[in-house]
Amino acid sequence: MSGAVQTALAAPAGPGRRAVRDPLVAGLVGLCLAAAVGLLVAPPAPYLVNAVGQLAAFAILAVSLDLVWGYLGILSLGHGLFFAIGGYVCAMHLLAHGVAVTGVLPDFVQFMGWKSLPAYWAGLDNAAYAFVLALALAGLVAFVFGLASFRSRVNGVYFSIISQALVYVAMLLMYRNDTGLGGNNGMTGFPLLFGWPMGSPGVVTGLAVAALLTLAAVLAGARLLVGSAIGRRMLACRDDETRLRTLGYSTTRLKLGIWCLSAMIAALAGILYVPQVGIINPRVLAPDLSIEIAVWVAIGGLGRLGGAVIGAILVNGLKFWLSAAMPEAWPFILSGLVLVVVLVLPNGLLDLVGWRPRPTWLRGAR
């Protein structure tokens, strides 16, 4: 253990070199860019474009969880909360934008018998403000919750189930109709995106391309981060937090910073996801969905950014296909997949292809 931490901290960490030395991430970034260009040049059927865009959003979400779980040893079973924050703020922007252009109030506002949007919706028709608000809100919630948890050294399984309770409570909250956020029906029927009609081929392609480009940027950025000095500290913290603290590093500040960053990336995924599916409702806050994010990461390969992306795309691709083809069988397949991966392929499916640049010191993340 001690040797591992010291090696981790002492290893030369030229960020650029390490980024290049991860061909999987480099390949995936390249693939994203190529796919984005491909979609622009020769767009396939809109539903396929839409599927690609959704998968990219899920992949971003998976990367955000892998950052804290794979590299920091913090398993969040409540990442759906940050995804939902991004999604909800994005939906609010789309509706407010629609009201500003068309003047028609959304269904749920009429349903509640209100004459206008609630006061806290003010200014949300401005896209830039909504974007900043979504990220800031996710960061703030993550900061408060993270500060409370990390300061009192709540970690491991404890942290996981408390984060699960957090997302569960948020779900109960959003199921209420008087929150002004659509209640159990959620928000849907977005008319416009930046003035263009929702669902037109151009908008669909644009959203998918935006998601792909964001994924590429997030992947590259995350790779730079974990390859940097901070990344070395993250690994050290994951493998022996007490020792790192004894060495004089503030692990609370480190964990808090990465945790908030991860939450904001998850919110970004939510922002990209909602306009593509055209709806947001409290079901994205179901604890099961948050666990599924961890499942993507575990299946793809924990502690490998590329693994998270592959896992998210693989599981969700399978889910798109199988939950339509054989809805009864899908839960069995998913649970079987999880058990096989957890028991037989502890490093995820990357084990299958013999991808084993596996450091011996991943213990803290399990």
Partner 1 sequence: MADRLRALLALCCLALLTFPASAAPIDRAAFAAGLCGDGAAQVRAAEGLVQAGGDLAADDLAYAGGLLGALAERRLACPAEGALLLDRPGASDGRDAVSGAPRPAAEARAPVLGLRQRAAVETARGTVALLTGPDPAARSAGLAVLERRIATVPASVLDRARDAETDATLKATIAGLAQAAALSSPDPARRRAAIAAVAASPSGAAEARLAALKSDPAYASDPAFRAALDAGLAKVTRAVAIGDGLAVVYNGLSFASILFMAAAGLAIIFGLMGVINLAQGEFIMLGAYATYGVQEAFRRLAPGLLDLYLLAAIPVAFGAVALVGIGVEALILRHLYRRPLMSLLATWAVSLFLVNLVRVTVGTQNLQFVMPAYVSGGVPLYADFVMTWNRLFAIGFAAATLVLTLLILRRTPLGLDIRAVTQNRDMAACLGLPTRRVDRLAFGLGSGLAGLAGVALCPIYSVNPGMGSGFIVDSFMVVVLGGVGSLVGTLVAAVGVGGANVLIEPISGAVAAKVIVLVGIILFLQRRPEGLFAVRRRR
Share of the chain residues as helix, strand and coil, in percent rounded to the nearest 5: 75, 0, 25
Task: Give the burial class of 9: count Cβ atoms within 10 A of its Cβ; 0-12 exposed, 13-18 middle, 19 or more buried.
Answer: middle
Closer residue to partner 1 in complex, CB, 157/353: 157
Q: What is the DSSP string of 331-348?
A: HHHHHHHHHHHHHH-TTG
**Using rule CB under 8 A, residue 111 touches partner 1:** no
Q: Report the 3 state secondary structure along 255-298.
A: HHHHHHHHHHHHHHHHHHHHHHHCEECHHHHCHHHHHHHHHHHH
Which of 17, 21, 253, 366 binds partner 1 (CB under 8 A)? It is 366
Residue whose token pair is 């010191």: 361
Contact code string over 114-153 relative to partner 1, x by CB under 8 A: -------------------------------x--xx-xxx
Tell me which residues in 343-362 interact with partner 1 (CB under 8 A).
343, 346
Which of 158, 201, 242, 250 binds partner 1 (CB under 8 A)? It is 158
Which amino acid would we find at residue 336? G
Number of residues binding to partner 1, judged by CB under 8 A: 45
For residues 69 and 328, give the distance between their C-alpha atoms in angstroms, rounded to a whole number: 31
Q: Are 296 and 58 in contact (CB under 8 A)?
A: yes
For residues 279 and 268, give the distance between their C-alpha atoms in angstroms, rounded to a whole number: 16
Which of 103, 328, 353, 354 binds partner 1 (CB under 8 A)? It is 328
Stretch that binds partner 1, among 95-103, 253-261, 273-281, 289-297 (CB under 8 A): 289-297
Which of 50, 54, 64, 164 binds partner 1 (CB under 8 A)? It is 164
Q: Which residues bind partner 1 (CB under 8 A)?
A: 69, 75, 77, 145, 148-149, 151-154, 156-158, 160-162, 164-166, 168-169, 172-173, 175-176, 287-288, 291, 294-295, 298, 328, 331-332, 334-336, 338-339, 342-343, 346, 363, 365-366
